[in-house]
Amino acid sequence: MAKIKKSAFAKATARRSPLSLYGAAARRRKNNIKARKEKMSRIYMDYGAATPVDSRVLKKLGRFPSEVFGNTMSLHSFGQEAKAALEESRDILADLMGAKPQEIIFTGSATESNNLALKGIAFANKEKGNHIIISPIEHPCVGESAKWLESQGFEITKLKVDQYGLIDPKEVERLIKKETILVSVMHANNEIGTIEPIEEIGKICREKGVYFHTDAAQSLGKIPIDVEKMNIDLLTGSSQKMYGPKGAACLFIREGTKINPILHGGGQEFGLRPSTVNISAIYGFAQASLLCKKEIVKESKRLTQLRDKLIKGVMAKIEGSYLNGHPIKRLSNNANFWFEFIEGESLLIQLDMAGIAGSTGSACSSAKLQPSHVLLAIGLRPQEAHGSLRLTLGRWTTSKEIDRVLKVLPGIISQLREISPFKKN
């Protein structure tokens, strides 16, 4: 008998623990394989968590990682080539938000940028005051940074939001006091998509002589931003939310802002982010930014139409479904719902088994079983918050994919309600 040669997949499977072949993950893999056999392509609707790198960005990168690899701090030609690419990228990001090139520093992630903004401002200005104001619906990296600063003796005040997640600028004005050194309010919420009145809040902070930071990781490249017009002193942006490579982000710091580094080392990025720069990721970030700027109006219009089709379809087809976030003042790609008598994690698993990827909220906290702090802040009860679903659309989302979701989702909701411990007796 001829010896059958094992495939690479078979060899890899044989090395696994038998336990790894069981459980929900294994069943989902099996179902996805079945879906592919039935020519059912998978649908990605979690662009709010991560975006694929655009093929045009990859084409621009080409051999860049292997050819432009020098250390930007080196004086030889290899280093100066990398330095030139870094400064070109800085110019592009500055242009995207109406800033000066020297006001842009590159970091490794939006989390790092937000940590630098809060902690850097706090410690550089502690002689002036120790009071910081944030919203209750910030990304965990802002909320946890504020919590840590509180343990270091700073006073943290959280604003209130209405049922849509909107901040009232008048409350910001009321809460600012002599000791206030920073206000941090995100531009658009990562979970419910609500867009905040940043320009109004920034104007109040400017008049009061208080620094204003906004986390724009979800909005940069989707909404036109002008840091001058919007009175922004510090702004966070992220490559991986803009179809660029992971490992690159930026922080706009208005010229003249008093801020301390949170890392200490070789002096890169004007001494505010000492680390060898990830020049390939940064260059990719810049190329992705160029595409976003070029296509922002057309893509926003396209995604708004798809988003509205999805929202209207879900609300019409599924009884006991509710939209989270503002119905109009929201990101063009964001749809967030909560469903009566549904447990969110079970819903995600069933959708994944049907070849549809979504989320229950922020990807950075989706492994936690606690209800979303954002949904609790807008007034949902824990049981209601647990029944949430976030579907975020992107550059490759199609109308046919929306149709597919609207066909599959009602049946899954109905099945889960039949076995739900939350349902009415």
369 secondary structure, DSSP code: -
**Residue 345 CB neighbour total at 10 angstroms:** 13
DSSP line for 373-405: HHHHHTT--HHHHTTEEEEE--TT--HHHHHHH
E-assigned strands of 228-300? Answer: 234-238, 249-253
Closest CA to 188 of 124, 237, 255: 237
E-assigned strands of 197-333? Answer: 211-215, 234-238, 249-253, 321-324
Furthest CA-CA distance within the chain? 87
Q: Which residue's entry shows tokens 């979690």?
A: 46
The helix (H) or strand (E) run that includes residue 304 is: helix 279-317
Q: Which of 205, 250, 292, 364 is catalytic?
A: 364
The separation between CA 25 and the C-alpha centre of its own chain, rounded to angstroms, equals 25
Q: How far apart are CA 275 and CA 271, in angstroms?
A: 10
E-assigned strands of 305-376? Answer: 321-324, 334-339, 356-357
Tokens encoding 8: 């690479």
364 carries an active-site annotation = yes
- Active-site positions read 364
